[in-house]
């Protein structure tokens, strides 16, 4: 009996141990793809990091380098804030978020910069890259060359927007911290633009969605990013109570989890000493010049969606589309897109959703559409399914 009792206890202990191990493995797996780094900009030290050298897609964090090169061209006199930039067809068909400028129309350099910073406009990034270097690929080579000169050892850029490009476009948490520091160090006046929460583009108020800037005192930017390949990325600058930190989180599973992780890191490292590992390379300390006049606290709207391309290719209009709504709110349009998408893709896996703003009098409406139907019959079949699910729907031939 004793032997059997011991055996049962041992088996029970083993089962508990195995279950505990599985739980721990689950926790580790949940955070396996997340990497982070926190840099003390005052001392030039990394205060802490985890998997900070792991290769990871940058998503829209790539626009930080696009903006660095834009500021550099302005400082050198090769570019002026009021210069007009032609939006090519290639730039105009980039996936949202974007400014929705039609091909061959122009935007100013200032509008392009604001678009990239506030709403992470992909068309603005492509247009600037083409304007400076002639093509996105040539500009990407310039981005990578400058990255190496700035000490970003493991970063390769392949386009100015950060849109998914296989596995060729890559960076690390450590490199993105150094890039955030370089922006502040080399362009302290222009860097203040990263605290902008909105701007007006052709009569329309465009609001940003860097929510951590609104909920954590001392955070003044810098950049968020999302693609399916990258998940949710963020670089944040914190300046408060003699602390100046640059934090990076790559690979968050949701925007909220990513922001929560960053907030915890900033709280932790802003309340302890500046110890930590000395960086392997010398990083000059930037001059910090905040510009509180650019903060527009009354325009905060945390319901705005995260930017990102979702890992999709740029939308090319097919022969037929379907439209399910035209609503006054982008957030509402995004919800409808998500709810209807599962029904549409059940009958057409190639269908791609999009939100298209349009003017109606003085108001802006957001059309919710799906592209990728070969003919009227297939578009009509999708509409039939959606109508059974209480969605309005009609077919459109572009």
Domain end point (choices 299, 332, 363): 299
Catalytic annotation present for 60: yes
- pLDDT at residue 319 in the model: 65
Tally the domains of the chain: 2
Q: Is 223 part of any known ligand binding site?
A: yes
Domain with 338, as residue range(s), is 320-396
In a domain, 25, yes or no: no
- pLDDT at residue 50 in the model: 96
Record the tokens describing residue 88, joined without a space: 């090519």
Whether residues 263 and 340 fall in one domain: no
- pLDDT at residue 283 in the model: 44
Sign of CA dihedral 258, 122, 190, 178: positive
Contact 148, 157 (CB under 8 A): no
Whether residues 39 and 112 fall in one domain: yes
What is the per-residue burial (b if ≥16 Cβ within 10 Å, else e) of 97-116? bbbbbeeeeebebebbbbbb
Secondary structure (3-state) at 201: strand
Contact 269, 248 (CB under 8 A): no
Distance CA 199, CA 344 (A): 35
Whether residues 250 and 325 fall in one domain: no
Angle between helices 63-75 and 136-149 (to 10 degrees): 80
Of residues 20, 29, 19, 61, the one with CA closest to residue 227:
61
Q: How far apart are the first and last CA of the chain?
A: 81
Catalytic residue among 35, 92, 120, 270: 120
Whether residues 230 and 355 fall in one domain: no
- pLDDT at residue 278 in the model: 36
Secondary structure (3-state) at 359: strand
Distance CA 260, CA 281 (A): 30
Distance CA 176, CA 62 (A): 9
The CATH number of the domain where 355 resides is what? 3.30.70.1070
- pLDDT at residue 7 in the model: 43
Contact 255, 230 (CB under 8 A): no
- pLDDT at residue 166 in the model: 64
In a domain, 312, yes or no: no
- pLDDT at residue 332 in the model: 84
> Distances from the Cα of 109 to the Cαs of 69, 72, 123, 197, 394, in angstroms?
12, 13, 13, 18, 39
Catalytic annotation present for 170: no
Distance CA 32, CA 290 (A): 36
Catalytic residue among 35, 51, 63, 170: 63
Secondary structure (3-state) at 365: strand
In a domain, 116, yes or no: yes
- pLDDT at residue 213 in the model: 82
Record the tokens describing residue 340, joined without a space: 């209807």
The CATH number of the domain where 114 resides is what? 3.40.710.10
- pLDDT at residue 350 in the model: 67
Of residues 240, 138, 237, 224, the one with CA closest to residue 178:
237
Distance CA 89, CA 7 (A): 73
Whether residues 110 and 211 fall in one domain: yes
Secondary structure (3-state) at 120: coil
Give me the tens of pLDDT residue by residue for the chain, a chain 398 residues long. 434 443 444 343 343 333 333 333 333 333 347 999 999 998 889 999 999 999 999 999 999 999 999 999 999 999 999 999 999 999 998 888 899 999 999 999 999 999 999 999 999 999 999 999 999 999 999 999 999 999 999 999 999 999 887 668 999 999 999 999 999 999 999 999 999 988 899 988 888 878 788 778 889 889 999 888 888 999 999 998 888 999 999 999 888 899 999 999 999 998 875 444 434 344 444 333 333 333 323 333 333 344 455 443 333 444 688 999 888 887 788 788 888 888 887 888 767 777 778 877 788 888 888 877 888 888 888 898 899 888 999 988 76
Catalytic annotation present for 120: yes
Secondary structure (3-state) at 56: strand
Whether residues 213 and 280 fall in one domain: yes
Distance CA 56, CA 167 (A): 9
Catalytic residue among 35, 60, 195, 318: 60
- pLDDT at residue 262 in the model: 95
- pLDDT at residue 267 in the model: 92
In a domain, 350, yes or no: yes
Whether residues 277 and 382 fall in one domain: no
Record the tokens describing residue 282, joined without a space: 């010398």
């Amino acid at each position: 009996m004793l032997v059997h009792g011991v055996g049962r206890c041992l088996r029970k202990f083993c089962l508990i141990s195995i279950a505990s191990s599985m739980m721990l493995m689950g926790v580790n797996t949940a955070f396996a793809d997340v990497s982070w780094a926190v840099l003390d900009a005052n001392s030039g030290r990394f205060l802490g990091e985890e998997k900070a050298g792991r290769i990871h897609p940058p998503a829209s964090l790539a626009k930080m380098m696009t903006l660095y090169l834009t500021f550099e061209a302005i400082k050198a006199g090769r570019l002026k804030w009021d210069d007009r930039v032609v939006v090519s067809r290639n730039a105009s068909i980039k996936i949202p978020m974007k400014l929705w400028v039609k091909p061959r129309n122009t935007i100013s350099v200032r509008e392009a910069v604001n678009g990239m910073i506030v709403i992470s406009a992909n068309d603005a990034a492509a247009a600037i890259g083409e304007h400076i270097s002639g093509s996105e690929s040539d500009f990407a080579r310039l981005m990578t060359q400058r990255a190496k000169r700035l000490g970003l050892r493991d970063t390769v850029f392949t386009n100015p927007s950060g849109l998914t490009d296989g596995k060729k476009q890559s960076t690390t948490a450590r490199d993105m911290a150094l890039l955030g520091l370089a922006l502040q160090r080399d362009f302290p006046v222009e860097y203040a633009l990263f605290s902008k929460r909105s701007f007006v583009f052709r009569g329309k108020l465009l609001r940003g969605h860097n929510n951590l800037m609104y909920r954590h005192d001392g955070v003044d930017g810098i950049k968020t990013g999302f693609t399916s390949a990258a998940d949710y990325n963020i670089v944040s600058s914190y300046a408060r109570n003699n602390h100046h930190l640059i934090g990076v989180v790559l690979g968050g599973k949701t925007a909220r989890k990513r922001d929560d992780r960053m907030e915890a890191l900033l709280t932790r490292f802003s309340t302890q000493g500046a110890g930590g590992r000395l960086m392997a390379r010398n990083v000059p300390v930037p001059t910090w010049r905040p510009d509180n006049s650019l903060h527009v606290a009354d325009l905060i709207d945390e319901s705005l969606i995260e930017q990102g391309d979702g890992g999709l290719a740029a939308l090319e209009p097919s022969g037929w589309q379907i439209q399910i709504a035209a609503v006054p709110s982008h957030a509402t349009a995004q919800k409808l897109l998500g709810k209807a998408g599962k029904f549409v893709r059940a009958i057409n896996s190639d269908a791609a959703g999009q939100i298209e703003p349009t003017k109606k009098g003085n108001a802006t409406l957001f059309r919710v559409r799906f592209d990728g139907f070969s003919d009227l019959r297939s578009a009509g079949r999708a509409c039939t399914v959606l109508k059974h699910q209480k969605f309005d729907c009609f077919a459109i031939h572009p």
